[in-house]
Amino acid sequence: MSVLRARRRAERLVVECGIKGPPVDVEAVARHVGVVRVVAVPLGGDISGLLVTRKGISTICVEERHHEHRQRFTIAHEVGHHVLGHHFGNGEHVHVDRVSMRNAKSSEGTDLLEIEANQFAAALLMPESLVEVELAKVDSSDVEEVVRLLSRCFKVSTGAMALRLGALGYEAT
């Protein structure tokens, strides 16, 4: 898998699910791809989410105390691992995603599976086609206001929206 293929898979999933506007119902998407449950529970520490698979049945757990935007991104990220076929063990497994990964590989941004899942999540929550439509509706030339308005519309953080706009080739002017 590659980052580009991860993004394209997310965009295809948006079409498959018939998503016509923001915000993307990420829990419905999770169910569509075969995740049985999405639950918010106290995970503690710096754990943001878990993808738990046992006997072919997957559940996503998110930290209940995290902001709704963080939870949505975590769910989309875990859906990415599920859809992209990332395997972290044989058969039964639990994949833990932390808010701040502590190993050198992750901090350098070289863990390809995590990068792919992040790119998948961004493309799922902020599909290019929907970003373009909503961006055309914004009547402002103030970059910070545009990012703020779009982040509210898509129910993502302003940081995630700014990164996504950059990835889509929009420049701050």
In the chain, where the domains are located? 3-126
The residue assigned the tokens 């070289």 is 110
Residue by residue, pLDDT tens for the chain (173 residues) are 589 999 999 999 999 999 999 999 999 999 999 988 999 999 987 899 999 888 778 899 999 999 999 999 999 999 999 999 886 656 556 767 776 543 444 434 558 889 999 999 999 999 999 999 999 999 988 999 999 999 999 999 999 999 999 999 987 54
pTM confidence score: 0.88
CATH class of 3-126: mainly alpha
**pLDDT computed for residue 21 by the predictor:** 96
**pLDDT computed for residue 108 by the predictor:** 45
**pLDDT computed for residue 55 by the predictor:** 79
- Please, how many CA atoms are within 13 Å of residue 17, restricted to the half-sphere of its CB? 24
